[in-house]
Structures are given as C-alpha cells and as structure tokens.
Amino acid sequence: MTSLRSLTALIIEPQSGMRASMHNMLNLCGVTKIDHAVSSGTAIRPLKSRSYDLILCEYDLGDGQDGQQLLEDLRHNKLIPLWTVFIIVTAERAYEKVVSAAELAPTDYILKPFTADTLLERIARAIEKRAAFLPAYHLMEHGNLHEAIEICLIGEEKYRRYSIDFMRLRAELHVILGEAEAAEKIYQNLLQTKAVAWARLGLAKTLFMQDKFGEAEMLLKSLVEENSKYMDAYDWLAKTHEASDRLDEAKEVLTDAVTVSPHAIRRLRKLGEVALETGDIDTAEKSFQKVIAKAKYSEFRDPEDHVRLVRTLVKKGDTQTAASVIRDMEKSLSNLDKTPACKAFSAALVHIEVGNADQASEALTAAVAACRDTHGISNDLKMELARNCLERNMDSGASEVMRDVMSNAADETAFAKAMKVFEQAGKMQLAETVAKESRRQVVELVSSGAEKAKQGDFEGAVELMTAAVRKLPENPQVVFNAAVAVLKYLENLGWDNRLGDQARGYIESARRLDPSNPRLVPLKELYQSIMRKYGIRPIGMD
C-alpha cells in the first residue's frame, strides 16, 4: 500500500467535533500534515497560497456554499491542481444533492458514519491511481499537452488496469488541442471495447467540433433518454441546439437539466441567458435570482450576474425591483473591480426604461469610463453597453468599448458577432472604422513589444505585453507575442521561476486560442531550449 505519511491534507468541516474525528482518522491513516477550514471562505484563503494532496470536504457547510459549489469554484478558478484528491463527506442522502455533487466529479464521496479503515481504503486507492497519472498531470499543468499525450500512451501499457482511463485522458487532451479527428478515433476505439456513456459523450463532442451537429444531437439525445441523470449530456445537447440556432429547444433541455440537478450555478446562468434571448422573461428572472442566491457565499461572486437580472427585470418593466438589485450589488460587491462598471450600466438600463434620458446618458458615459480601467469585464456585457450607446447616438462611447471587444475577439466568429452590433444599429461604416482601429491597436501593441525586445529592453517588453494580455486575454496574436517577450527575457537575462510559469501559461493559452498555429512548435522548442540552457529540469518527466 502506498505510504500516506508525506501527504498534505485540508479538512473543510464546520463542526468542531467532526473536524477532530476526521483529523484523528487521518492520523490513524498515517497523514499528519493537516490543516483545517470551517467554511468555503476560510478554505479558499489557504488554497490561494498552497496546494494539498488531499481535501476532505463536508457537503453541508452551513449557511454558505455547499461542498459541490465549492468544488465547482475551485476547479473553475484553477485553485486546485489536477492531482489533488477531493473527497466529499456527507450524511445527505437526498437525491438531488448527491447527483449534483457526483456530476462535478469529486474523486470520491463517503457517506457518514464511516470508519478509519473505510477512509484509509478510499484514500489509498485514490493516491495509488494518482501516482500513475501524476507525470501526465504535471505536464498538463505546465501546458505540455502533446508530451502528456505521449505519457498517456506509455501509461496504457505500463498500468493495464488504468488503460481505459489513460485512453480517456488522451482523448480529452486531443479535444483541448482542437484535434477533433484524433480524439474521435480514440472514442470510437473505446466504444468498440465498452459502450460507456462518457465515451459516447466524448464522441459527440468531437462531432460537434467538426460541425456535425445532427450526428452529435442523435448521440446526445440517446444518452439523455437512457440516463436522465447524465448532466453533461444535457449541457452538450443544449449547446448543439444553440449552435443550430434552435434556442427554444436549447432552453427546454436546460430546463429539464435544472429540474434534475438544481445546484449548478453555471447551468442556471446559461438557462437564464437562453431564456432571456428567447423572450421567456419569467424563466430568465427565476434563473438569475437563483444564481445570485446560490453564489452569495462564494469567494468568486460576479457582479455581472446582477446586471443580467437587472436587464431581465427592466424588460419586464419592474424597475423598482431592478433598483433594489443595484443597491444589493453596490452594498455586497463594493470591493470588486468590476462593480462600478456593472453598477453604472445597470443604472443606465433603469433610467432608459423610466425615460430619464439625461441620467441614462450620464450613466452610460460612466460605464464606458469604468470599462476603460477595468479588466475582466465580459465581451457580452461590453457589447450590450455599446448597443445601448448606439441607440442613443453615443457613437464615441460605443466605438471605444467595441474597439476593445474586437481587439479581444478570439476568432472570426467572435469578431462577426461584434460587427453585428453595429449592423443592427444601422452603422456599418462606423463598424468598418472601429474594426480597422481594433486591428491597428493589436498591431501597435505587438510591434511595440517586439521593438523593445529588439532594443534590448526585455523587461520593458515583458511589462508591455503582460499589460496587453490583461487587456486582451482572448486575442491569440497578443498572447503568442507575450509568450515570445517573456521567453526572450529568460533567454537573455536568466531564469526566473515566476516568469517561467508565466511563459508556460501564455503558451498554453496561445495553443487553446489557436491550436493550428504552426509557430506553436518552434515556440515550445524555444522554451525547452531555454530550460536546458539554465539546467531547469522539465516537470512531469519522472
């Protein structure tokens, strides 16, 4: 049995007696490096500064988040690495909560009461499997996805009992890389071996990636019909309907999914967005209200959820409730950078609805100004802000906002969506002007970084391109050239661990945004040659 003495563990449990009991059980299992947290908030603080091998998390965390919502936050915000073993501990046998926890795929969950022997067996089993996958996980964490695929191929032969799991991971890596055909072959092979639901779902994803929406839909419908609790299948079926511009069917699928599993915030948010787009105000309102209520105790609350609810209430004509939502945003989210922009835009929507033209213009101007200095505001919110500016002939404000949106477009589809905002306002000439300005903005940023590096100002190049990525995180050209700037710094001024991590992150983002870019291979080779130059051992190659 694998020794557990070197493991670090975090117990998340509000009850002191149960915390002490789990602590003692871990001690009996040989685990001694143990930290405690009494809530999701107190858990996130240590997780921001260190990682743990094992997290034991109570499902019922009291008045705040439950264990499922915490796991969702941790994974979405990348606060726990792939190799962290996350076990949900619960006495809750109510179906809807258990299925919600299961769909987020914790490593395991244990029903109370349980013994130290049971806990030891579960942990040992999880750690043993983790050891087999650790080299691949390390490579994935550092953006070495093609190398991780090679490790998976070796793992399939070396660890025969995990061969299907290695094949599954290999297929998922091809999906991340945008290599749909390679992933499809693996899933087809898996289905010949065993007709598991996740392999059929994976196959449907690859078909979706190749725009084979009809074939994907048939597979996904059969999955949902056979297993009404398979939540990922619902999500992809809704996504397939949406891609085929069948929003009413997408809404129907999401409604069914939320009925089965009502605790997943991102699905509730998606249902609200689709419902609002189809004109189903009641469903949109209820969905966004639930999102705000369920996210209330999250460390990652997003004021844009309040904006979504305000938009819905304004469409309904309920400006009084909309105003109270704005007050709640101002009171409870005042510490967040995005709040001033979200508050100003929400206020503008209310003023527009009640006919306060001057106040609406002032609020829209304030929202545009707030967006100017705030990172992280979604393109969707910015486009809605621009749309409202254009309707009031505030072309300058709309152009400023949309210039950033167009500069930050990840692909031609996103760019076309931005152009449509101007088209719907009947201002195509303005659209062409802003499009040219956005392209020039990107070219100037990239050229300025390259020029600084050429002049030997490697530190200035890194500073400039880091700021550019913060402003335009979805632009593949900006992200790629930021990676180049950091690598040139490391090559010429010496190795720095923080910048090495930053370079890996940029390379990974560049691959995600533009997986077919032929310059990715030489970029990765440059990174590896710099590591060799300074004697830095690649992580994950044990």
pLDDT in tens, 227-243: 888 888 999 999 999 99
pLDDT at 271 over 70: yes
Window from 53-67, 309-323, 466-480 with minimum mean pLDDT: 53-67
Torsion angle of the four alpha carbons 133, 134, 139, 143, in this order, in degrees rounded to the nearest 10: 90
Predicted confidence band at 541 (pLDDT cuts at 50, 70, 90)? very low
DSSP reduced 3-state for 325 = helix
Structure pTM?
0.85
Q: Which of 395, 373, 377 is nearest to 307 (CA)?
A: 377
Predicted confidence band at 482 (pLDDT cuts at 50, 70, 90)? very high
Q: pLDDT averaged over the chain?
A: 91
Per-residue burial over 300-310, b = 16 or more CB atoms within 10 Å of its CB, e = otherwise: ebbbbbbbbbb
Q: What percent of the chain has pLDDT above 70? A: 96
pLDDT at 2 over 80: no
Q: Confirm if 10 and 55 have CB atoms less than 8 A apart.
A: yes
Q: What is the pLDDT of residue 317?
A: 96
| Mean pLDDT within 325-353 | 97
Q: Confirm if 202 and 183 have CB atoms less than 8 A apart.
A: yes
Q: What is the pLDDT of residue 501?
A: 86
Q: What is the pLDDT of residue 1?
A: 44
Q: What is the pLDDT of residue 494?
A: 95
Q: What is the pLDDT of residue 66?
A: 81
Predicted confidence band at 100 (pLDDT cuts at 50, 70, 90)? low
pLDDT at 51 over 50: yes
Instruction: Report the amino acid identity of residue 148.
Output: A
| 264 or 530, which is more confident | 530
Q: How far apart are the first and last CA of the chain?
A: 21
Q: What is the pLDDT of residue 384?
A: 97
For the stretch 374-399, pLDDT in tens is 988 999 999 999 999 999 999 999 99
Q: Which of 112, 14, 123, 108 is nearest to 66 (CA)?
A: 14
Q: Which of 26, 39, 137 is nearest to 83 (CA)?
A: 137
From residue 216, alpha-carbon distances to 103, 198, 202, 231, 233 in Å are 21, 14, 10, 16, 10
Residues 6+ apart with CB under 8 A from 102: 109
Q: Confirm if 444 and 450 have CB atoms less than 8 A apart.
A: no
For the stretch 116-158, pLDDT in tens is 999 999 999 999 999 999 999 988 887 778 889 999 999 999 9
pLDDT at 5 over 90: no
Q: Confirm if 455 and 417 have CB atoms less than 8 A apart.
A: no
For the stretch 411-423, pLDDT in tens is 888 899 999 999 9
pLDDT at 540 over 50: no
DSSP string computed for 96-127:
HHHHHHHHT--SEEEESS--HHHHHHHHHHHH
| 463 or 65, which is more confident | 463
Strands lying side by side in the sheet with 8-12: 33-37, 8-12, 54-58, 85-90, 108-111
| 75 or 493, which is more confident | 493
| Mean pLDDT within 169-178 | 91
